[in-house]
Amino acid sequence: MNPHRNRRITVAAAAAVVLAFTGAACSDDGGGGGGGDDKITVGIKFDQPGLGLKTPDGKYTGFDVDVATYVAKELGHDPSDIVWKEAKSADRETLLQRGDVDFIAATYSINEKRQEKVDFAGPYLLAHQDVLIRADDNTITKPTDLNNKKLCSVTGSTSAQNVKTKIAPNAQLQEYGGYSECLTGLENGVIDALTTDDSILAGFAAQPEFKGKFKLGGFKLSNENYGIGVQKGSELKDQINKALEKMVADGSWQAAVDKNLGPAGYQNEPAPKIGVIVQ
């Protein structure tokens, strides 16, 4: 009815397309010139010491943070260009699909179900599922001992379900919103064991406030291939893979492992080959 109004909408839509394209071009910039307001948004965990942690003073620390910072640098972004966004386990695919983040480095295990929704660069770390128990607990010495135990994991994580399906069908699953909540439950005796990747558990066990309270079970219950999540079909995947290869080659990868996970005595696997998923 109103041709002028229709024209205004068309012009606005065209402008939006141009802006979106320009933004994508900035995000996919593979080299230099990443200063100023050329922001990149990266999803990490905020509650995983040694991997992805937002400290009380507003800093971000951990192995995933160091990997993401290195990758962003190779994509042309200074550390000051990075906008860190919390990527909880249950929210990661949604954040990528909506375009809320450019990429996610958040102890994000590559699996077929997730690959239907997002793409992965990497893997950049091979971890193994394990359990954390109280240091004085002698009732859990092998995986099947988890039967009839209260087993905690985080909503959206596959770890607890993996145990119940394959190892201890009578385990009593308890899903909490974050690892820190599981840890409090474990410390208070409400939970018998916390299960997730050994790298994550080592990060927690190494914290000063938990010294001597917990121990790793030492069960290699699965292989967890950590990848960097990107939107389906994103050109960033190949660029991030090149950055990860460079990080391993120049020694920065091992230095980041030693700095963040070494204090817990974590024995890391060698850096995985890009594109090779260990089953």
Q: What's the pLDDT tens digit per position in 237-276?
A: 999 999 999 999 999 999 999 888 876 667 788 999 999 9
Query: What local confidence, expressed as pLDDT, does residue 15 receive?
Result: 45
Q: Is the pLDDT of residue 20 over 70?
A: no
Q: Is the pLDDT of residue 32 over 60?
A: no
Query: What local confidence, expressed as pLDDT, does residue 152 receive?
Result: 95
Beta bridge pairs of residue 53: 47, 61
Q: Is the pLDDT of residue 153 over 50?
A: yes
Higher-confidence residue of 194 and 203: namely 194
Q: Is the pLDDT of residue 10 over 70?
A: no
Question: In CATH, which superfamily holds the domain spanning 30-126+224-264?
Answer: Periplasmic binding protein-like II (3.40.190.10)
Query: What local confidence, expressed as pLDDT, does residue 19 receive?
Result: 42
| Radius of gyration, alpha carbons of the chain | 21
Question: pLDDT exceeding 90 applies to what percent of the chain?
Answer: 66
Digit-coded pLDDT (tens) for 159-171: 888 898 999 999 9
What confidence tier does 2 reach under pLDDT thresholds 50, 70, 90?
low
* Contact indicator for 237, 119 with CB cutoff of 8 Å: yes
What confidence tier does 203 reach under pLDDT thresholds 50, 70, 90?
confident
CATH topology match: 30-126+224-264 vs 128-223: yes
Digit-coded pLDDT (tens) for 181-196: 999 999 999 999 999 8
Strand bridging mode 103-104 / 214-216: unpaired
What is the mean pLDDT of the segment spanning 89-109? 97
DSSP string covering the chain: --HHHHHHHHHHHHHHHHHHHHHHHHHT--SS---TT--EEEEE-SEETTTEEE-TTS-EESHHHHHHHHHHHHTT--GGGEEEEE--GGGHHHHHHHTS-SEE-SS-B--HHHHTTEEEEEEEEEEEEEEEEETT--S-SSGGGGTTSEEEEETT-SHHHHHHHHT-TT-EEEEESSHHHHHHHHHHTS-SEEEEEHHHHHHHHTSGGGTTTEEE------EEEEEEEEETT-THHHHHHHHHHHHHHTTHHHHHHHHHHGGGT--PPPPPPTT----
Query: What local confidence, expressed as pLDDT, does residue 264 receive?
Result: 67
Which residue type does 165 have? Answer: T
Query: What local confidence, expressed as pLDDT, does residue 37 receive?
Result: 60
By the 10 Å C-beta count (0-12 exposed, 13-18 middle, 19+ buried), 242 is classed as: middle
CA distance 260 to 207: 11
Query: What local confidence, expressed as pLDDT, does residue 130 receive?
Result: 92
pTM over 0.95: no
* Contact indicator for 207, 268 with CB cutoff of 8 Å: no
Looking at domain 128-223, which CATH architecture does it have? 3-Layer(aba) Sandwich (3.40)
What is the mean pLDDT of the segment spanning 173-181? 88
Higher-confidence residue of 209 and 146: namely 146
* Contact indicator for 189, 204 with CB cutoff of 8 Å: no
* Contact indicator for 124, 244 with CB cutoff of 8 Å: yes
Q: Break the chain into its structural domains and give their ranges.
A: 30-126+224-264, 128-223
Query: What local confidence, expressed as pLDDT, does residue 188 receive?
Result: 95
> If you average pLDDT over every residue of the chain, what do you get?
87
